[in-house]
């Protein structure tokens, strides 16, 4: 969906064959020239396994507004053992190196990062990631379905350092550094509550990671680190709760969490972006948070500068924020609601532009129907 930055108006959509975002959360990334966008087409697999007609990288010409070509690659399909479920690919994130030459693809089903040389259109050697399990593995209950095979821990985000030498994979438990020159995963950085989104400072020294979920101690309402062994629920002691309250500040050269920024109880920080000069953080909050209607502006030390109301009212939340290249506007997307129905808040399938100079939100840019319950838009990328 192209949106004019000058007028904040929606322009005619660009059709992409088999762009099935309902089964996974692939990104859209744009070349440094702003002329080509890349996404992943996800055909519906017929059955689980690695012999399915796989996904393809789709190259979109942003000048002519059309699909230019596709690059096929191999990925496994996994089917949860739940009645009525269908097999799906788990291609969860994309990232483009700063020089625009290499596209990285996070394939959670195969537990690896794929690379595509965009000049030769050839696949590089996959980087195998440390094996992780989904968070609900820690909760054992007779009411919980079993999985065959067990679904992978989702890869929630993928980012590349400004110098293009390192990639950082967020998998729901840890941040995994990947050396792009040596094609290998390094020791995971651990100690998060439930890491979700990552933003890297312009100097490449620091990463900021949101933790929208936490393991809550029921009788105190406080978050704690993930349990070391599986639990039987309900046990009256702990639950996985969409009310995390932390941003982890990661020293990337040292490979450790340097400090934690606490945003308030149940603040549920979701998306995060860093200003072009590195002086401010922009944080969105989930629909279960009392701050869900705001974009929070913070210093890197966690001091709140201002909260900017997005204008959508209570029970809303955004999972993504992107800063325009000039640094004067932010765009909010991936809106959620808590309660559907006639008395629910407005659900936006579109974006909201926020003027970062006067710190006000503009009118919503609506893409129109259909609007599904839950996430109604994806991420934002900037092109010509």
**Extents of the domains making up the chain:** 29-366
Cβ contact 283:298 at 8 Å: yes
CA dist 285 to 240, 270, 332, 348, Å?
A: 17, 5, 11, 15
Distance of CA 359 to the CA centre of its chain: 24
Convert the pLDDT of each residue in 153-168 to its tens digit: 778 999 999 999 999 9
pTM of the model as a whole: 0.91
Q: pLDDT band for 170, please (50, 70, 90 cuts).
A: very high
Q: pLDDT band for 147, please (50, 70, 90 cuts).
A: very low
Q: What is the mean pLDDT of residues 356-371?
A: 89
Lowest model confidence (mean pLDDT) among 38-52, 254-268, 362-376: 362-376
Q: What is the mean pLDDT of residues 243-267?
A: 94
Q: Max alpha carbon distance in the chain (Å)? A: 58
Share of the chain above pLDDT 90, in %: 56
Q: pLDDT band for 142, please (50, 70, 90 cuts).
A: very low
Paired tokens of 23:
């089964």
pLDDT at position 149: 47
pLDDT at position 136: 57
Highest mean pLDDT among 44-53, 310-319, 333-342: 310-319
Q: pLDDT band for 146, please (50, 70, 90 cuts).
A: very low
CATH number for region 29-366:
2.130.10.10
Q: What is the mean pLDDT of residues 89-98?
A: 91
User: Measured between alpha carbons, how far is 250 from 207 in angstroms, rounded to an integer?
Assistant: 5
Q: What is the mean pLDDT of residues 81-108?
A: 86
Q: What is the mean pLDDT of residues 277-300?
A: 94
Lowest model confidence (mean pLDDT) among 232-236, 344-348, 374-378: 232-236
Q: Which residues contact 80 (CB under 8 A, 6 or more apart)?
A: 145, 147, 151
Cβ contact 314:237 at 8 Å: no
Paired tokens of 87:
């097999």
Closest CA to 21 of 2, 50, 1: 1
Lowest model confidence (mean pLDDT) among 189-198, 238-247, 280-289: 238-247
pLDDT at position 45: 85
Task: Give the strand pairing for 231-232 and 139-140.
Answer: parallel
User: Measured between alpha carbons, how far is 201 from 11 in angstroms, rounded to an integer?
Assistant: 32
| Average pLDDT, rounded, for the chain | 86
pLDDT at position 90: 85
CA dist 107 to 9, 98, 236, Å?
A: 34, 21, 36
Lowest model confidence (mean pLDDT) among 29-43, 134-148, 196-210, 217-231: 134-148
pLDDT at position 25: 56
pLDDT at position 261: 97
CA-based Rg of the chain, rounded to a whole angstrom?
20
CA dist 174 to 27, 123, 190, 319, 366, Å?
A: 20, 26, 5, 19, 35
Let me know if 282 is exposed, middle or buried by CB neighbors in 10 A (0-12, 13-18, 19+).
buried
pLDDT above 70: residue 38: yes
Convert the pLDDT of each residue in 302-324 to its tens digit: 999 999 999 888 778 899 999 99
User: Measured between alpha carbons, how far is 205 from 311 in angstroms, rounded to an integer?
Assistant: 35
pLDDT at position 145: 45
């Amino acid at each position: 969906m192209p949106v004019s930055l000058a007028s904040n108006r929606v322009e005619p959509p660009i059709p992409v064959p088999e762009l099935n975002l309902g089964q996974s959360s692939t990104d859209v990334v744009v070349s440094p020239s702003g002329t080509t966008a890349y996404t992943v087409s996800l055909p519906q697999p017929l059955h689980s396994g690695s012999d399915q007609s796989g996904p393809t990288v789709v190259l979109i010409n942003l000048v002519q507004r059309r699909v230019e070509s596709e690059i096929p690659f191999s990925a496994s399909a996994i089917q949860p053992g739940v009645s009525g479920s269908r097999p799906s690919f788990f291609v969860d994130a994309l990232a483009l190196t700063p020089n625009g030459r290499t596209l990285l693809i996070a394939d959670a089903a195969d537990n690896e990062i794929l690379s595509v040389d965009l000049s030769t259109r050839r696949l590089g050697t996959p980087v195998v990631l440390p094996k992780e399990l989904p968070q609900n593995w820690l909760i054992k209950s007779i009411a919980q379905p079993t999985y065959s095979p067990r679904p992978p821990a989702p890869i929630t985000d993928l980012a590349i350092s400004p110098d293009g030498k390192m990639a950082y994979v967020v998998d729901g438990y840890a941040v995994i550094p990947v050396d792009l020159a040596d094609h290998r995963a390094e020791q995971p950085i651990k100690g998060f509550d439930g890491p979700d989104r990552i933003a890297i400072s312009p100097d490449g020294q620091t990463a900021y990671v949101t933790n929208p979920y936490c393991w809550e101690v029921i009788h105190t309402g406080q978050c704690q680190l993930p349990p070391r062994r599986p639990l039987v629920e309900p046990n009256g002691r702990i639950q996985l709760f969409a009310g995390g309250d932390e941003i982890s500040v990661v020293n990337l050269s040292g490979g450790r969490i340097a400090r934690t920024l606490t945003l308030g109880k149940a603040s549920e920080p979701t998306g995060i972006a860093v200003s072009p000069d590195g002086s401010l953080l922009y944080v969105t909050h989930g629909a279960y948070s009392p701050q869900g209607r705001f974009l929070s502006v913070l210093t890197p030390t966690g001091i709140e500068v201002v909260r900017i109301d997005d204008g959508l009212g209570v029970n809303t939340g955004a999972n993504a924020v992107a800063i325009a290249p000039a640094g004067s506007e932010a765009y909010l997307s991936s809106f959620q609601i808590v309660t559907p129905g006639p008395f629910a808040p407005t659900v936006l399938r579109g974006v909201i532009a926020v003027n970062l100079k006067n710190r006000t939100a503009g009118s919503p840019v609506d893409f129109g129907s259909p609007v599904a319950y839950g996430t109604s838009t994806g991420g934002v990328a900037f092109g010509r």
